[in-house]
Structure 1
Amino acid sequence: MAESGPQEGGTTEGNDNLDWMSKLPSRLQRVSLWNLAIPGSHDTMGYDLDMESDILDPESLIPVSKLHCVRALIHKWATTQELNICQQLDAGVRFFDMRVARKPDDPDPTRTFFYHGLYTHSDVETVLSTVSHWAAGHPTEVLLLALSHFRGMEDHHHQHLIDFITQLFGAKLVLVADQPTLRFCWDSGRHILVSYDHPANHNLQMWRKIPYFYGNTIVPSEVVTVLDKKLRTQTPINYFFVCGLNLTLPDGLGALKYLSKTLRSVTLEGLPFLLDWVNRQYPGPFNDHINIIASDFVNLLDFVSTVVQLNGKMPALLNK
């Protein structure tokens, strides 16, 4: 895991956002959580990738998983974060994008891991237990955990994981029937919301998929074009949604020109433009509210503070 302490090259976030939800004015404490601006991390567990693991993505490289140089290349571009889960929480991140997979030859019959191109070192239950421990010390902070993809998992794996989540978080879980606001979460003691994006989810303590809009391009201006269109045409009514600032390598030979760089360097180059777009959301040209905004390398260039501060610019309609 990443060590605590300052990071070089673009990192300016301090610890001012440790309990930022508790500091929001009373008028925002009764606003639905899907009307608040919430910072999130894209591929949250990307700091913990195991370069010795098999390759999961891209599928075209799975046959050459045994080649160290190929795994090293995947690791270079699949590493999306450099703060560990506790550091992300401390930095003010409140939405966590988590891809889950099972190793096909794992001797443990129920163990699962996170992944992004490669499996993580840490298993899912260990990481979620860490989140639960952090949440116990920060009861004013509402956490949104979005579990998805579920590679290699069968029904009994899902049932085990769902049972584990409901037992681990227990009375802290925000129920599907709830109308979550900060004030509701504080009064009820429910401040962990889990989205489980799979048909196996029939549990009223697990929320459905949270739509994640992203540009699927490495060009920041094209990301903004896609997000503006999504905000104009596809945002759900009375539900959560994510605008992802994350950049994506082009398919095929188009990726070759970027291989001398890293995802971090590309993110650092594009983030000023993308954060300028974030700052322009209130008042926005296409929408009356923004919700979750997620990024790679959440410690770079005041990303978290930029998103949190949007709440102070919220339109009067939502400030009442």
Structure 2
Amino acid sequence: MTKSAEKSKRRGDVTSYCDWMSQLPPELHNIPLFNLAIPGSHDSMSYDLDINSAIIEPDNLKRLSKIYCARKIVRKWAITQEETITKQLDAGVRYFDLRIARKRNDTNPTRLYFYHGLYTLTDVETVLNIINDWAERHPKEILILALSHFKGFDKKIEEHLHIHLINFIKTLFRAKLFHKMDIPTLKRCWDQGRNVIVSYDYPANQHPEIWSKITYYYGKSMDPTEVKSELRRALETRRPLPCFFVCGLNLTLPDDARTLRYILRLCDNLVNVIGRSLPKLLQWVEEQAEKTPMNIVASDLVTRDGFVSTVVKLNISKRV
């Protein structure tokens, strides 16, 4: 080990964000993961949206699904991540916002996709296999997978689809799944050889390996000032303890006709808007963390602007 590496280790600095959890100082190994600052990605699979997919949101554009330029517009305002799930993992992201949907009239009755405006090209089982392989190679990095929304789960097949997906998750990750009865710490996860936590936004109480929905706070606005104001209010008045919670830095398009003001900008897209706001939001995170604890901090464009390093470095202030 070089002198600079030894000095960094003594200070508790992280030198590789691909394995940042294993590099945290020993005094952080026994505190609940609820009390660590963990970088996460919002709409984690939106880099994979299929231009040939039907439009499934916003509602006022669904009828235009057959028009290519309409799908193209939706796609450029629905992409919130630029990099693959593997590159997000390698960059240090440890929480993933995975929104599930079933394609109408799919010939495979249990095949599921992700979505954000459009369906993804890649199906759910393929992506979960990729995540499982990564978790196998990085046993000291704890991954939190939040599955939610379940669009297109018609009532007649809803229960069957949930049973199929939960059983697939349990069979795939097996002993990697950390049970919800225990309070997760780095050391406890490492000692048990369990490094995957699955949160599922649908009742699954009979499965000890499946966690319930994780609270996600967000600003529901395209204005970063409004986002910061709403998040500050949530962190200071509504933050649940002790459990996981997400502070979402993501910008959100209006869910009514006002969305047209944005998506009809021919020379702009969501990635550009996010890129302009993210540095301000990250500065706010550093300032707010001095006043209120942060847990999972989720963002768009997670491989840009030092997002991961900003969040991970918040943990150094937790040293006792």
User: Fold-level match, TM-score > 0.5?
Assistant: yes
- Aligned match of 1:277: 284
- Aligned match of 2:261: 256
- Aligned match of 1:244: 248
For residue 265 of structure 1, the aligned residue among 272, 279, 283 is: 272
CA-to-aligned-CA distance 1:163-210 (integer Å, 9 cap, x gap): 000000000001011110000000000110000001356322110000
Q: Using a 3 Å threshold, how does the CA distance of structure 1 residues 99 and 257 change in structure 2: closer, same or farther?
A: closer
CA shift, 1:252, in A, is: 1.9
Which of structure 1's runs of 4+ aligned residues deviate more than 4 A? none
- Give 1:281's aligned amino acid: Q
- Aligned match of 2:238: 234
For residues 137-216 of structure 1, what are the structure 2 equivalents within 5 Å? 137-153=137-153, 154-199=158-203, 202-216=206-220
1: CA distance between counterparts of 2:262 and 2:179?
47
CA-to-aligned-CA distance 1:239-297 (integer Å, 9 cap, x gap): 0000111112234246425623111111111111101111113321xx2x110001111
Q: Percent same amino acid among aligned pairs?
A: 53
Contact 1:155-1:200 within 8 A present in 2 as well: no
Helix, strand or coil for the counterpart of 2:99?
strand
For residues 3-22 of structure 1, what are the structure 2 equivalents within 5 Å? 16-22=16-22
Helix, strand or coil for the counterpart of 2:45?
helix
For residues 288-303 of structure 1, what are the structure 2 equivalents within 5 Å? 289-303=293-307
Contact 2:200-2:211 within 8 A present in 1 as well: yes
CA shift, 1:233, in A, is: 1.3
Helix, strand or coil for the counterpart of 2:120?
strand
RMSD across aligned C-alpha pairs, in angstroms? 1.3
Helix, strand or coil for the counterpart of 2:76?
helix
1: CA distance between counterparts of 2:194 and 2:183?
11
Contact 1:34-1:241 within 8 A present in 2 as well: yes
Q: TM-score, normalised by structure 2?
A: 0.91
Q: Which runs of 5+ in 2 are unaligned?
A: 1-14
CA-to-aligned-CA distance 1:134-153 (integer Å, 9 cap, x gap): 00000000000000000112
- Aligned match of 2:27: 27
Q: TM-score, normalised by structure 1?
A: 0.91
1:39 aligns with 2:39: yes
2: CA distance between counterparts of 1:79 and 1:101?
17
CA shift, 1:215, in A, is: 0.5
Contact 1:195-1:209 within 8 A present in 2 as well: yes
1: CA distance between counterparts of 2:272 and 2:209?
39
Aligned residues: 299
Helix, strand or coil for the counterpart of 1:280?
helix
Q: Using a 3 Å threshold, how does the CA distance of structure 1 residues 254 and 79 change in structure 2: closer, same or farther?
A: closer
